[in-house]
Structure 1
């Protein structure tokens, strides 16, 4: 799913380099007319390597360049000189990038640490020079091995956003507004559904110069687990969040039912998401008076059972400090 410079899904083509030929050279000097074999080995073909970079946040570097080819190994030469290895090509990706087979959809590997390297396509081996084949019965072999050809592959790079807290809710629940208030992020905010078409990340500053990362995930609708609406394009980002903050507006017809629908979509997409810590925040609560809030609290304690909840208002700055405290405690429990 792409919008602007946020790219979290690309398909690329990668080719490794061919191995260099081994040399079939025979040693010759001024007074040595018939020297023995001294052909060197060919160099290894270049690898295509995926490397993690903590300074990158999207796959935008692959938006316009999607074909990558490593260098070929050089041929061996006389005096057993080995050819130079082909130049490796490095693909710098953000942490949380999963590399998948485009046909089967199977995950090949994932990058989660800075400077972590995985070889995507191995370069071809260099051929051995003729001096390897010298024997008592074959004193002057006049042949050497050719280099092994490189490989090529098509893969999908898929980014799963790494964040401590993921905001979950229906479209227009106030997630972007909360993110703009609680962090210094400037997400697009408007009064219509699907304003957010890409995850927005923000750093929440806490006490004593501590902080954590919050991600505003595009809104969920019923059927999202089957790909309806924005479907899988955003649900995968929730997989990497340590804590899930469910945001439901106070003017919702049925807060408990909305929560159950959201929870069910996550369960159907990936049952492991249900094991994450959860907190329900009732947004836009500045429109409630104390009496109505008390009645809602009594109902929610019964309907939500053991799930913690609280009332907040991003616009009126109500409950924001308490929300930070609650999230920090959950992340460090």
Structure 2
């Protein structure tokens, strides 16, 4: 899956089927000239159903198909025969998809479980045939109910990635490089800001064949929560991560200040994000000799109130320790 094929936001127009008309029919056969009403009921209109599919991780398949229409119900017929129900239409989406009303932006549903199905547009009920309306006063009713019209909705689908660990950092902090080293993911890596334009997922292999999922989120800049840069478009992906890994390069002017800027952006976007487990990884530590690392460690011990580690993706330093720490945090 290339970066350009990652789609996490689409708008759809969905229409359910109309219910079928009830039948107006009077029973006639040999030797029975006045058999009475026997018009059957109309069939139900088809639903539009949104279904969670664990084999998908993007909304790309909906990029060029925005309209979904279910079948109409069949009309009733003689001998109390009911019309066929209209065929339902299924729209498969990845786990973690949020369904919003496009007009009000209210959240209608969230799909987080495998196979979960939501009827987003309910098919119209079929009309009742004329045999339902027979009574002692009117024994041959010549009317039946029309079917109920289907529903139409404009909805917006937003994907929030389901991952155990979310990588948070400024552009060019080394997030993609770290993901490529400790997982089998192959994100785009280059020496300029905003190399990553779409989230990347990777599976981290741990001891005894155990695994956890890590997500690389495009770089956040100061003011992202107000719409600056591109990071604000993807901050929602962090909402589903149980642990946040803050990546700050060792050559940053002030590590504590960079961490607090990132934390403040998350707070302004959604204060609930601060309730998640947090860990700081100081990347590119291969640029530090032992003396500089000791000085920095002494300084950080007094400044930071959360755990931190020194790592180097290029030199393969501290990576197993990082995995151990993340696994411990995920399983507390």
Q: Once the 2 structures are TM-superposed, how far is the Cα of residue 301 of structure 1 from its aligned partner?
A: 1.2
The CA distance in 1 between the partners of 2:108 and 2:148, in whole Å, is: 24
| Structure 2 contact 203–213 (Cα < 8 Å) conserved | yes
Q: TM-score, normalised by structure 1?
A: 0.98
The CA distance in 1 between the partners of 2:44 and 2:192, in whole Å, is: 56
Deviation string for 1:33-81 (max 9, x for gaps)? 1111111100000000000000001001101111100000000011111
The aligned residue for residue 56 of structure 1 is: 56
Q: Once the 2 structures are TM-superposed, how far is the Cα of residue 231 of structure 1 from its aligned partner?
A: 4.1
Q: Once the 2 structures are TM-superposed, how far is the Cα of residue 93 of structure 1 from its aligned partner?
A: 0.3
The CA distance in 1 between the partners of 2:141 and 2:231, in whole Å, is: 64
The CA distance in 2 between the partners of 1:86 and 1:205, in whole Å, is: 47
Q: How many residues align?
A: 331
The aligned residue for residue 275 of structure 1 is: 275
Structure-to-structure mapping, 1:230-309, within 5 angstroms = 230-305=230-305, 307-309=306-308
The CA distance in 2 between the partners of 1:249 and 1:23, in whole Å, is: 74
| 1:134 and 2:101 matched | no
Report the secondary structure of 1:4's partner residue: helix
Report the secondary structure of 1:7's partner residue: coil
Q: Once the 2 structures are TM-superposed, how far is the Cα of residue 232 of structure 1 from its aligned partner?
A: 3.1
Report the secondary structure of 2:291's partner residue: helix
The aligned residue for residue 9 of structure 2 is: 9
Q: 1:289 to 1:231 in 2, by over 3 A?
A: closer
Deviation string for 1:273-314 (max 9, x for gaps)? 000000000000001011111111111111112x00010000
Runs of 4+ in 1 over 2 A off after TM superposition: none
The CA distance in 2 between the partners of 1:191 and 1:159, in whole Å, is: 29
RMSD over equivalenced CA pairs, Å:
0.9
The CA distance in 1 between the partners of 2:256 and 2:268, in whole Å, is: 18
Report the secondary structure of 2:68's partner residue: strand
The aligned residue for residue 319 of structure 2 is: 320
Q: Once the 2 structures are TM-superposed, how far is the Cα of residue 214 of structure 1 from its aligned partner?
A: 0.2
The aligned residue for residue 330 of structure 1 is: 329
The CA distance in 2 between the partners of 1:232 and 1:121, in whole Å, is: 31
Q: TM-score, normalised by structure 2?
A: 0.99
| Structure 2 contact 218–231 (Cα < 8 Å) conserved | no
